[in-house]
Chain A
């Protein structure tokens, strides 16, 4: 975790005399006082909430035939009301962790309630509408209570909704429903920005990438793969442009937008490699892939570790692949390994040079900062 790394670094700096012991303790204390920082109690509370919610769903899933229907409906409605009002009380008292747990139970039990009602009254079909309603309720709850925990629930519900769509429609594109996945991802990102549940951002991006992969299975054409590569790179470059509006949006979103847009581009390049196997088009594709990874390192390599490693991997894989298809046919197997070794060594040399430059840049930037 970040706290452990921070503590190690701080004690290192104190040992080197760069930082006073008091300042180090103050920095650590500041980190601990942040509301979103890791605390065992918080995590256990969230786990307890998930377990309780699962228990509720399981009880609902098995039939309680002995209890009259209206009593069962009344019971689950009472649960929904009690949980939400208790959460409001907790929030008013300032115990956000317990409130978050209760709200998670509240959002989950709505799904349980709908499936209970469906069972009791023999309603079938229309699971998709149920998923939309469930996601909508979680969204409303996340907004009104400004709850990060419910935002995470909404993120998972957006996946579940897409899964239900794929299952019900034999993975055909039908009507307007396929657009719901990217819309839900956008809503989740908006919720993340509003509630500060940074981790849930990945749920939205991963849903988008899954959705794009599904698009490719529908239309397995070069044009789609090309669109991924070009669109991904365009979005990636956009995250690096010094336009003030974009820059502030991107900075507040952390490493995710650049990484995921480059990931989409990398997937596009991979799909293109599956489609294009030889000839001048492969040469163009190979050069484009290498150029894209170099561009990625140049634009975001210094500050964004995730982008840097993905770009290194893309670059190295591409070099090895090109070497194996071009030189591999001329050389024997043993010389191929020799050649691969040389290629990897070359890549390593480039990477080391780049890393040095990044740290040199960082130092000179700091130096300028000090002079100014």
Chain B
């Protein structure tokens, strides 16, 4: 190993080092882009209603903060109990399509949920759970809380969001990771996300 590294630090070896380092970076970036693209092309489609955002979080640079109805999960939907110990938890959420076309939480669990027909399972990002004293609902994030927009275009979307007119169409992978597919205002797509 050490002789290998010693050989890297001379003449042609540096070139190999450069290829390894740049290649690793390319691989990581490529994996990020490709995993999103594969969720967008193969995932299950879900339409989510956005909710107004706490005014403190309004303008965050060049992205719109998105908050969903499903971001606060009612405690009565939790099956399998809430862990009593405080700590880092992941919540699995089962979504079902409602009459108005939006999807809503019908079941949630701190353990992995098994797939059922006509439902989609979403996995939250890890969050700190204070244990049993959780209150009426559990606040979670899914990794789809930011929508980057061209400079100056954020304001109208934020206003529409606070009037309750913004919906997000999302595709979800079998393991529960979502990706944003398009942003709709009053039911019409404003931004459609290309695969790449």
Count: A-B pairs, CB below 8 Å? 119
CB <8 Å contact, B143 and A124: yes
B22 touches which of A73, A80, A122, A126 (Cβ 8 Å): A80
Say yes or no: is B25 at the interface (Cβ < 8 Å to chain A): yes
Say yes or no: is A125 at the interface (Cβ < 8 Å to chain B): yes
Say yes or no: is B102 at the interface (Cβ < 8 Å to chain A): no
CB <8 Å contact, B125 and A69: no
B25 touches which of A80, A119, A122, A169 (Cβ 8 Å): A80
CB <8 Å contact, B24 and A124: no
Chain A residues touching B, range = 35 or more
* Chain B residues, CB < 8 A from A69: 194, 196
Output the residue of A123, A124, A143, A145 with the most chain B CB within 10 A.
A124
Say yes or no: is B136 at the interface (Cβ < 8 Å to chain A): no
- Which chain B residue shows the least CB distance to A82? B22
Contact stretch, chosen from A85-93, A240-248, A281-289, A313-321: A85-93
Residue-wise interface mask of A (85-111) relative to B, using a CB-CB cutoff of 8 A (1 in contact, 0 not): 101110110000000000000100010
Say yes or no: is A172 at the interface (Cβ < 8 Å to chain B): yes
Given known A-B contacts A124-B145, A125-B141, A172-B128, A81 and B22 have beta carbons under 8 A apart: yes
Minimum CB–CB distance for B91 against chain A, Å: 14
Q: Scan residues 126-172 of chain A and give those whose CB is less than 8 A from a CB of chain B.
A: 126, 133, 137, 140-141, 143-146, 169-170, 172
A69 vs B150: C-alpha distance when bound (angstroms): 13
Contact stretch, chosen from B11-19, B92-100, B104-112, B114-122: B11-19
Say yes or no: is A120 at the interface (Cβ < 8 Å to chain B): yes
CB <8 Å contact, B14 and A125: no
Minimum CB–CB distance for A109 against chain B, Å: 9
Given known A-B contacts A84-B21, A140-B24, A170-B128, A117 and B147 have beta carbons under 8 A apart: no
Chain B residues touching A, range = 35 or more
Q: Scan residues 1-35 of chain B and give those whose CB is less than 8 A from a CB of chain A.
A: 5, 8-9, 11-12, 14-15, 17-22, 24-26, 28-29, 32-33
A32 vs B10: C-alpha distance when bound (angstroms): 24
CB <8 Å contact, A122 and B148: yes
CB <8 Å contact, B17 and A122: no
CB <8 Å contact, A140 and B20: yes
* Chain A residues, CB < 8 A from B126: 174-175
B146 touches which of A81, A122, A172 (Cβ 8 Å): A122
- Which chain B residue shows the least CB distance to A194? B5
A73 vs B150: C-alpha distance when bound (angstroms): 17
A70 vs B128: C-alpha distance when bound (angstroms): 36
Given known A-B contacts A69-B194, A126-B125, A174 and B21 have beta carbons under 8 A apart: no
Say yes or no: is B47 at the interface (Cβ < 8 Å to chain A): no
A87 vs B194: C-alpha distance when bound (angstroms): 35
CB <8 Å contact, B88 and A144: no
CB <8 Å contact, A174 and B18: no
Say yes or no: is B167 at the interface (Cβ < 8 Å to chain A): no
A77 vs B28: C-alpha distance when bound (angstroms): 11
* Chain A residues, CB < 8 A from B63: 119, 122
Say yes or no: is B151 at the interface (Cβ < 8 Å to chain A): yes
A28 vs B160: C-alpha distance when bound (angstroms): 71
* Chain B residues, CB < 8 A from A146: 9
CB <8 Å contact, A124 and B194: no
Say yes or no: is A113 at the interface (Cβ < 8 Å to chain B): yes
Output the residue of B15, B18, B19 with the most chain A CB within 10 A.
B18
Residues in chain B within 8 A of chain A (CB atoms): 5, 8-9, 11-12, 14-15, 17-22, 24-26, 28-29, 32-33, 36, 62-63, 87-88, 125-126, 128, 141, 143-148, 150-151, 179-180, 193-194, 196
Residues in chain A within 8 A of chain B (CB atoms): 62-63, 65, 69-70, 73, 76-77, 80-81, 84-85, 87-89, 91-92, 106, 110, 113-114, 117, 119-126, 133, 137, 140-141, 143-146, 169-170, 172, 174-175
Nearest first, the 3 A-B pairs at minimum CB distance are A88-B14, A144-B17, A124-B146
9 A-B Cβ contacts within 8 A?
Answer: A77-B25, A77-B26, A89-B15, A106-B22, A121-B193, A124-B144, A137-B24, A169-B128, A174-B128
